[in-house]
Amino acid sequence: MKKVFALFLAEFRKLGANVIFANFSKIIIDTGKVDLPSARAYCDSLLKTLQTRDLFEWIELEPLHYWHSLLFMDQYNYGGIQAKTQNVTSADSSDGDDDIDIVSSWNIAEYLPKATQDHFVLIVSEFLYVPWKYMKEQVACRAAMRDDTSCTPSITIMAAENLEGQVVDYLRGQIGTYFAEKLLTIVSDILLHFKGKGKSESVGPSNSELDPHLHKGNAALEFIKHICAVLALDQNVQHDIL
């Protein structure tokens, strides 16, 4: 079974999919597409092709979720902007700012002090939202500049590559300005919050054995380490983060 599964994943990669995570019940792939119609069309084509292979024809796969963006560390630590089901299947594939679904499932945040956990979720969520919103605005501008007769439901390969490059450059700029300033402010607040507490924040050996999630060490340092570990999952800006 494991050999068949390995061959199955190899076939995914052969067909152009980047396998992010896989087990016997779930497979997460990066389609490489920047808009939902293209991603859905690619997945449909991928599944149909796999079904034509004699070795895999008995395997049933069904797309469960589509993501505008996803930061994935492992199955217990991930976050992203999930596409609305109705928008995946409709011609208008854009989600409005008021009804987007930012999923935040970070088990590592439980190891941070309670006072810093909300800051962690906020920074990671904004890191996902800011470039996505910028890309939406750019797509809308490009659509407005085209004649209605020349509009196509999906973005061309060349346009997609140019757009992706623009988004990466924009995010790099935001990392050096907006996110850097915000993190400095948060770290200052954390230092002030824990200032003077000293030993009152420490945990005795018996208590730490009962609760492995209790925080040890410098709160601000641990916060920054956790933030950098998550933001660096985006390989396009990994060098800018680390």
Please count the residues of the chain: 242
Residue-level pLDDT at 193:
85
Q: Count Cβ neighbours within 10 Å for each residue of 99-134 and write b for 16 or more, e otherwise.
A: ebebeeebeebeebbeebbebbeebbbbbbbbbbeb
Segment 131-164, tens digit of pLDDT = 999 999 988 887 777 655 455 545 566 677 788 8
The proportion of the chain whose per-residue pLDDT surpasses 70, expressed as a percent, equals 79
Residue-level pLDDT at 177:
96
What backbone torsions phi and psi does residue 206 show, to the nearest 5 degrees? -65, -40
Judged on CB neighbours under 10 Å (0-12, 13-18, 19+), 79 is buried
Check if the beta carbon of residue 163 is closer than 8 Å to that of residue 34: yes
Residue-level pLDDT at 164:
87
Segment 163-207, tens digit of pLDDT = 888 999 999 999 999 999 999 999 999 998 887 565 454 544 544
What residue ranges do the domains of the chain occupy?
Answer: 111-241
